[in-house]
Structure 1
Amino acid sequence: MKKTFLMGLALMMTASAASAQSLTGAGASFPYPLYSKMFAEYKKDKGVDVNYQSVGSGSGQKQITERTVDFAGSDNPMSDEQLKAAPDKLLHIPTAIGAVVPAYNLPGVTEPVKFTGQVLADIYLGKIRLWNDKKIAALNPGVTLPPLPIQVARRSDGSGTTYVFADYLAKMSSEWKSKVGVGNSLQWPVGTGAKGNDGVAGIVKSTPGSIGYVELVYAKQNKLTYGSLRNRAGKFILADNGPASLAAQGVVIPADTRVSITNSANAGAYPIASFTYVIFYQDQKYGNRTEAQAKALKNLLSWMVSTGQQYNEALDYAKLPSTVASKARSIIGKMTYGGKKI
């Protein structure tokens, strides 16, 4: 009997250790290239498997609410109403800053097309239908724009990239704000839908005359042309790490880090920039979770906002500003297991 007990104890300890060596996340496609790199490096460094499914921010928020994953990825923070609907307190930490760009397929046009938020809103409202429309032409003197129909590409899934794009358009167009609004999923006036940033990038790549909004890294990986955007200071800015990072400068970051940084007042900022977040439960004791799993998640999150930041810029994401990283570490420090600090 003693032997059986010891064998059972050993199996329990082995199972606990194994669970601590594996974590699961799901959500935003926006940071997927970065997370793929981060988690591969984390496994090499710490021996912990992190399985992240790129299924869209909306699905990630749903899965963390239902407690079917250890953490969710989302480009937009959950609303107060969504947080109240969760079974316990959820926390957010930003892990990077990314840029959403208007990528397009316009044969014969070699220099980046200039856009304003109002023009992008009118394109996605179906009001501007041709590439040589006078509103686009006025922004691009000297550029010969073809009379091609504009083929609009947009997300079909619940998407944080959509939320960020719509958040910007709502600030730039009262018509967009009233008719379409802001959200992970929208009632689109026009366009062909696709899942994920990679799906929208695929439409743009294969369709002459198309335009789609994607995270910067997807435009670069797919060798897509993307336009510059006029920011609040009146400057046309082409997305890059620096201008994306500047979007967060001068913005008051609340203690819970849930904030929009689109249409930044910073003179050098790119206007469609956003933090991307990891969402998790403050108290980790729920379901069959062990304290070892809780500690493993805390260690991963701490690494992502510190050592892991070295991978951001090479993959076209901006690092967290030091003040934001400090707030993220403070939030991680609030994690508990059964009410006790871990």
Structure 2
Amino acid sequence: MTVVPAQAEPVAGAGSTFAFPLLHQWGERFRTAEADGGDFPSPDGGLDYEPVGSLAGTMRVIAGAVDFAASDVPLNGEDLDRHRLMQFPIAMGGIAVVANLPAAPPGSGVAKLRLSGAVLADIYLGTVTSWSHPALTALNPGLPLPDQPITVVHRAEGSGTTYNFAAYLAQASAPWRERVGVDTELRWPTGTGVRGSQGIVETVKAIPGAIGYVEAGQAARAGLPVAEMGNRAGRFVAPSRQTVEAAAASADWSRAPHFTLLLAEATATDAYPIAATVFALMPRDRIDSGQGRRTLRLFDAALTLWQQDAADLGYVPLPAPLVALVQASWVSAASSR
């Protein structure tokens, strides 16, 4: 008699394109871990993750179509209770502003484009339309900005990256708050909408003078130069592990029910001002199911054994105290179903 190994269904996830490179890497590690002697030895398991955007991923987990959603926008307690979901952070990262501009000449002493929140908001409002605009030249003395139109690029679908980007603009610009606001889907005053983070990367790279926003690690892997952004302390800061950690340092996660926090209002001197947290959303009623337990095993390994993957890919791993809070939340959610 031939014994056929048990076939494991992949853990199914959907949502954030911001987090897709990291979740893809964790999925490969999970597949290998299971194949090396876990409960489901078949290499056909692992993770099946679709980067459809935070909004679409959240809708899929609410509908019961996936085991978890990844979202860059935390749900509030009322929404979590209504849909019987639990929520916890899994990684952090910076949202880089990228622009297709000529490089500064060697020896000029000018390293990066600098943008304030107010001027960036004016670009996305359609008020500042040329790279030679006085508002931009004043921020960038010595940088040879071209006399050419700015091509604004933004996400076309519901996106947590958009939500955190808009939160930064709203904090810095009253006109943005009044005319556009903060949401995963916006009524953009100007610009070209494209789908997914990769769409932003490809469009900005293809069009001289284009500007867009994308996860900082993805920008680095694509070879796109990133701008230094003005923070609330009045400094211009580039996204990095250290500057995103500075933004996260002031967040008191222990006092945030369901981990519902945004990092857009960080005040630390070295804080990068457009920082985002990636959250996982899971159905509470499935925690003790086979797939629910496998999903939590994936995230437990990701947050304890595979944190270096986050750092290597340009994200910021969760600090150990926050990992402990997340693990405790799983126990609490299981006991209160």
TM-score, scaled to structure 2: 0.90
Q: How much has 1:331 moved relative to structure 2? A: 1.4
The CA RMSD measured in Å over matched residues stands at: 2.0
Kept in 1: contact 2:58–2:69 (CA 8 A): yes
2:306 counterpart SS class:
helix
CA distance in 2, matches of 1:303, 1:255: 24
Q: How much has 1:256 moved relative to structure 2? A: 1.4
CA distance in 1, matches of 2:78, 2:197: 27
Q: In the alignment, what sits opposite 2:95? A: 100
| AA at the equivalent of 2:249 | Q
CA distance in 1, matches of 2:57, 2:23: 14
CA distance in 2, matches of 1:309, 1:202: 28
Summarize the Cα distance change of 1:210–1:220 in structure 2 as closer, same or farther, 3 Å threshold.
same
CA distance in 2, matches of 1:192, 1:37: 30
1:196 aligns with 2:196: yes
Taking only the aligned residue pairs, the percentage that are identical comes to: 33
Match runs of 1:68-79 below 5 Å = 68-79=65-76
CA distance in 2, matches of 1:334, 1:70: 19
| AA at the equivalent of 1:172 | A
CA distance in 2, matches of 1:280, 1:299: 13
Q: In the alignment, what sits opposite 1:5? A: none
CA distance in 2, matches of 1:108, 1:24: 42
Q: In the alignment, what sits opposite 1:18? A: 7
Runs of 5+ in structure 2 lacking a partner?
A: 36-44, 106-110
Q: How much has 1:291 moved relative to structure 2? A: 2.6
The partner residue of 1:315 within 307, 313, 316 is 313
| AA at the equivalent of 1:216 | A
Runs of 5+ in structure 1 lacking a partner?
A: 1-9
1:312 counterpart SS class:
helix
Query: If you compute each CA radius of gyration, which structure gives the higher value, 1 or 2?
Result: 1
1:150 aligns with 2:150: yes
Kept in 2: contact 1:72–1:278 (CA 8 A): yes
Q: In the alignment, what sits opposite 1:28? A: 16
| AA at the equivalent of 2:60 | Q
Q: In the alignment, what sits opposite 1:274? A: 276
2:258 counterpart SS class:
coil
CA distance in 1, matches of 2:247, 2:183: 21
| AA at the equivalent of 2:299 | L
Paired positions, count: 319
Q: In the alignment, what sits opposite 2:25? A: 37
Summarize the Cα distance change of 1:93–1:245 in structure 2 as closer, same or farther, 3 Å threshold.
same
CA distance in 2, matches of 1:323, 1:299: 19
Give per-residue Cα distances to partners, 1:244-277, cap 9 Å, x unaligned: 1111102222141110011311111111001111
Give per-residue Cα distances to partners, 1:297-334, cap 9 Å, x unaligned: 22112222211212111000011122221211111223
Summarize the Cα distance change of 1:202–1:75 in structure 2 as closer, same or farther, 3 Å threshold.
same
Q: How much has 1:198 moved relative to structure 2? A: 0.6
Give per-residue Cα distances to partners, 1:27-74, cap 9 Å, x unaligned: 000011111111101111223411111110010010011010000010
| AA at the equivalent of 2:270 | G
1:214 counterpart SS class:
strand
Kept in 1: contact 2:76–2:258 (CA 8 A): no
Q: How much has 1:95 moved relative to structure 2? A: 1.0
Kept in 2: contact 1:61–1:78 (CA 8 A): no
Kept in 2: contact 1:301–1:332 (CA 8 A): no
